[in-house]
Amino acid sequence: MHLRFMKKVKVEVSLYDPIGVDKEGNEITLIDILGTHPEVVAEMVENNFEQKRLLEKVRQLTRREKKVLELRFGLEDGARMTQREIAKSLGISRSYVSRIEKKALNKLTREFNLEGCR
């Protein structure tokens, strides 16, 4: 109940925000009730945000670059393919797949570096 109310009031909820008290009057935080070590939860949340940032950047690539990276790294369904398999499915050479992949990764690297400078 408290979380729903807080969601309406503020955009972000911290894992360390108090959400109530226990029988002994001690403050309870969200991280306390998750049942997992705090570092693990924080790492999972951070990974989730990083993945969303990456997918936003991937959407900015050309259709072909996006397709090659999705197939190569399993971005959609987790199934990774080799450059040879991608080349066969797209009807292009393996070396062309390699060039597309390299170009796309360089674009992503530049975008993340620019974002880090801001």
Domain ranges of the chain: 36-117
Look-up of token digits 């796309």: 104
Residues near 60 by Cβ (< 8 Å), separated by ≥ 6? 107, 111
Please tell me the CATH code under which domain 36-117 is placed. Answer: 1.10.10.10
- Rounded distance, CA 82 to CA 101, Å? 11
Q: How would you write the pLDDT of the chain (118 residues) with one tens digit per residue?
A: 455 555 555 567 777 788 888 888 888 887 777 766 667 777 888 888 888 888 899 999 999 999 999 999 998 888 999 999 999 999 999 999 999 999 999 999 998 888 777 6
Per-residue model confidence (pLDDT) at position 3? 53
Tokens standing for residue 28: 């309870």
- Rounded CA separation 30/38 (Å): 10
What is the structure's pLDDT at 17? 81
Please report the pLDDT score of residue 99 as a whole number. 97
